[in-house]
Structure 1
């Protein structure tokens, strides 16, 4: 039997069981070891705030249409950070270059389910690099999100960069920005996360609740402001403060998944008067100017290579490994007590 985590309604979680399906031509079967929970995008479906629950995305016009839901409850098998063992390969795939073999550890996206049936083309080159613990494979996607934001920021050596939000992806962004040559100011409302930001390479930290963030950043840069700010939390007030924090003509990369109307965002203030560049970073693609050299696959593989080389630490980000039977408790933890958790991983 296959076990699948699903949301049956807002803040309602169950683990359903289904009979395993036959393996189609051109696919691999993977037995899941670990599946990381996204504390951003995934919680929007858990909380009932995801726009797809009330509207439909039209890929041709690239607009949302009101009046119909793109997804409905039960929402089954969400998740995009899986690692597991290949248990079956469709016979005609034997000998395909880069194809994982039975028994190998692989990373990819097949959702919170005990086994994934994954198209072969999505698994070529997805064998876990040697020397990595299996848990590290669950960070390929979240690492790519952070990496993509840093690419969009176009950081140069010696520049001042503010990173707003120091959850898992924010901490990885801080580390990657530092590796890219930035002097990083980390911003968050939780002191425990600011302490972690120091360990991940932040030059300084600011508390969003108690510090006048934009003023402090301008003071630290001789009144100029940061060259770049990366907003990774998905909170409109944080995006507004990021816009206030950069220099004239500075760049703000919005990489969070913002929900609902933009309460707390005033675009007639510093954004307008300082002619700030506002750039969207979204993991569906890389910055347009880099498409000749980069793609999402390269982001993921390069991030795991950095982990394997010891340049980025992911294992210390895992605060909880939760048996899949207790999945509902894991979501309550992330939803109600975010200060008590970083990366929560389901174990199958």
Structure 2
């Protein structure tokens, strides 16, 4: 539980009794979102400072939420008990992917468990990437990549590295990955991308143009969650190109100047969001269940490679250390997961 900026605590809660159509699942592994969850840890989440009006779909003045907050949405769990009316739909021992906070166990409906049921024999540490693969897949769909395109990925965390692989699957001829951390650049290169370091003396937008005959990339996917990263994505693309954002942006950051390349080059900026009540732009052909099923298949079949992306496995009992690592030493991380002993 995040009880305030910089404060991560373990608390004990009683779960509701298991109903006839309920399932109890014990967590095996859960992934920490370096964007969404860290915004709560740092106190920069939009909902702490503005109030969301769901009917109007607007933020307005005044804080909408306060601490404590239960973070997490990338949980892989094993079914250990099934309600009397649900035993023909799911079995003890099944692995399920749950959009639920970090916790040792969860009581969920059989509908939820069945929707998240995973293929038999899947490694839980591979399955933990399913949800962020869905996020990246939505961003690639929204980017409108064509066969032969050059695609820039800004931000090579988990989502960026997966998006780069999906860009190739969508037909990109070249994918250029941009980040400032060597561990992530090395991962991008191992996945077939051209890696560019943001802290070099050379301007990455100029380097992209050198690789593209001075035109710029056809598409950019922004996965860093920083306004400066979004600005660089805009600078890296050609006239009339699309920039698809798959990251969450928090706080009052600097570095985004819309009066420059965005204005001069007629860039299309697309927000890609596969949750929060927003239908896909390709809905109803592509709805959340289809996105999720496709993401799972891509990882299961090995078309999206995730081996080696987990850099740290930290016991749930030491969650404070995990968040502290991401906050203070991000250059050492790609994917940090919590593990559970039962």
TM-score range, shorter chain: over 0.9
| Matched ranges for 1:290-309 at <5 A | 290-309=282-301
Note the C-alpha offset of 1:54.
Answer: 2.0
Residue among 21, 39, 44 paired with 2:34: 39
Aligned to 2:329: 337
Note the C-alpha offset of 1:89.
Answer: 2.3
* Residue 149, structure 1, aligned to residue 149, structure 2: no
Aligned with 1:187: secondary structure?
strand
Residue among 186, 191, 195 paired with 1:195: 186
| Matched ranges for 1:42-57 at <5 A | 42-57=37-52
Compute the TM-score of the two structures, normalised by the length of structure 1: 0.93
| Matched ranges for 1:51-130 at <5 A | 51-67=46-62, 69-76=63-70, 78-95=71-88, 99-130=89-120
Tell me, in whole angstroms, the C-alpha distance in 2 between the residues paired with 1:123 and 1:282: 23
Tell me, in whole angstroms, the C-alpha distance in 1 between the residues paired with 2:86 and 2:14: 24
Aligned with 1:238: secondary structure?
helix
Retained in 1: the 8 A contact 2:78–2:95? Answer: yes
Aligned to 1:169: 159
Aligned with 2:39: secondary structure?
helix
Please give the per-residue CA displacement for 1:217-250, whole angstroms capped at 9, x wherever unaligned: 1121111111100001111111111111111110
Aligned to 2:23: 28
Paired residues, number: 337
Retained in 1: the 8 A contact 2:52–2:64? Answer: yes
Aligned with 2:40: secondary structure?
helix
Note the C-alpha offset of 1:90.
Answer: 2.6
Q: Kindly report the root-mean-square deviation, in angstroms, between the aligned alpha carbons of the 2 structures.
A: 1.6
Tell me, in whole angstroms, the C-alpha distance in 1 between the residues paired with 2:137 and 2:278: 10
Aligned with 1:228: secondary structure?
strand
Tell me, in whole angstroms, the C-alpha distance in 2 between the residues paired with 1:130 and 1:309: 13
Retained in 1: the 8 A contact 2:30–2:338? Answer: yes
Tell me, in whole angstroms, the C-alpha distance in 2 between the residues paired with 1:221 and 1:131: 43
Tell me, in whole angstroms, the C-alpha distance in 2 between the residues paired with 1:88 and 1:24: 11
Aligned with 2:185: secondary structure?
helix
Note the C-alpha offset of 1:137.
Answer: 1.8
Q: Which runs of 5 or more residues in structure 2 are unaligned?
A: none
| Matched ranges for 1:244-323 at <5 A | 244-284=235-275, 288-323=280-315
Note the C-alpha offset of 1:262.
Answer: 4.8
Aligned to 2:195: 205
Note the C-alpha offset of 1:144.
Answer: 0.8
Please give the per-residue CA displacement for 1:3-28, whole angstroms capped at 9, x wherever unaligned: xxx01111111111123321245332
Aligned to 2:9: 14
| Matched ranges for 1:126-141 at <5 A | 126-141=116-131
Retained in 1: the 8 A contact 2:130–2:299? Answer: no
